[in-house]
Amino acid sequence: MALDAQAETWLKGLADSGLPPLNEMPVDQARATYEAVVADCGLKPEPVADIVDKTIPGPAGDIPVRIYTPDGHGLFPIVVYFHGGGWVLGSLEVVHGPCTVIANRAHAVVVSVDYRLAPEHPFPAAVEDCYAATQWVADNAALLNGDVERIAVAGDSAGGTLAAVVALMARDHGYPPLAYQLLIYPATDVRYDTGSYAANGEDYFLTTDLMKWFHRHYLPSEDRAEDWRASPLRAADLSGLAPAHVITAEFDVLRDEGEAYAARLQEAGVETTVHRYEGQIHAFTANLAGVIDNGRQSIEDGAHELRRALRLGWQPRVWLSQ
């Protein structure tokens, strides 16, 4: 399909702004620019019954989290959410709006995790924080008015990678029990030779150069790319994982590796669905849903899948957009 008209308008505005690419900025400037873009273009938050910021114990100190509780009475399912930003950028704020929508539509407690970022804290710091946070959620489900039997992990981009890795770690360690994983355009392999890299490596916001910049900051040595915690597509065995829903975008360098991961999950016997949003670019869901209607709809669709999978208000799968 052709590039979505709203995505095209946003890309043109970005080009006309005169801002250099994120990978040509110092890290602090890139972080501030990314936050400003999302504040301007991201989904505005909805009212939810309760929002609490707190810290929880982590492997290298306290981890900030933000807990969203919907209206109604528990026990609620719980969604542990990891933001994107290439393991270098991002915060609780960049996914604040999407987390309110997920809490309301999935009728779930959402725990958004502010894991450590590179280059100050390179791989595997983010992985360790995200797994520790998911363990904490399971250990404290009752305090969250949540159901330990209905915990899902979710994330976008780098956060989708982290969600996939946490699901693998939970299986390998036998804890915590996970009921679902929502992976929004995840990066699943540290390589740049797929068809989607060849087709979309320039001009669509997430470029090949930007992905290489992220990886240089995140991975302290090239051999770390072989580690399945950095490249979950390289994990030897994907069987026995929680059911998954994978969202990809047509004009995204990460499209092919996200869909390859979904295919491997299916081949391993994991109940998996995948939805490619035609005409869309990377970040359309979590970061640009305030200016791209299809982005807002994809959040609604993902929350619908969570609600359906976690067996609250079950209804047949119906895609509301393409």
CA 83 to chain centre: 5
> 183: helix, coil or strand?
strand
Alpha-carbon distance of 232 to 68, in angstroms, equals 28
9: which residues sit within 8 A by CB, 6+ positions away? 291
Catalytic residue list contains 221: no
User: Of how many residues is the chain composed?
Assistant: 322
Catalytic residue list contains 96: no
Per annotation, catalytic residue among 107, 217, 245, 282:
282
Per annotation, catalytic residue among 147, 252, 256, 301:
252
Can the peptide bond before residue 124 be classed as cis, meaning omega within 30 degrees of 0?
A: yes
Phi, psi at residue 272, to the nearest 5°? -140, 135
Q: Which residues are bridge partners to 154 per DSSP?
A: 81, 182
Residue 284: HSE in the Cβ half-sphere, 13 Å Cα cutoff: 34
Alpha-carbon distance of 125 to 120, in angstroms, equals 10
Hey, which residues are catalytic here?
157, 252, 282
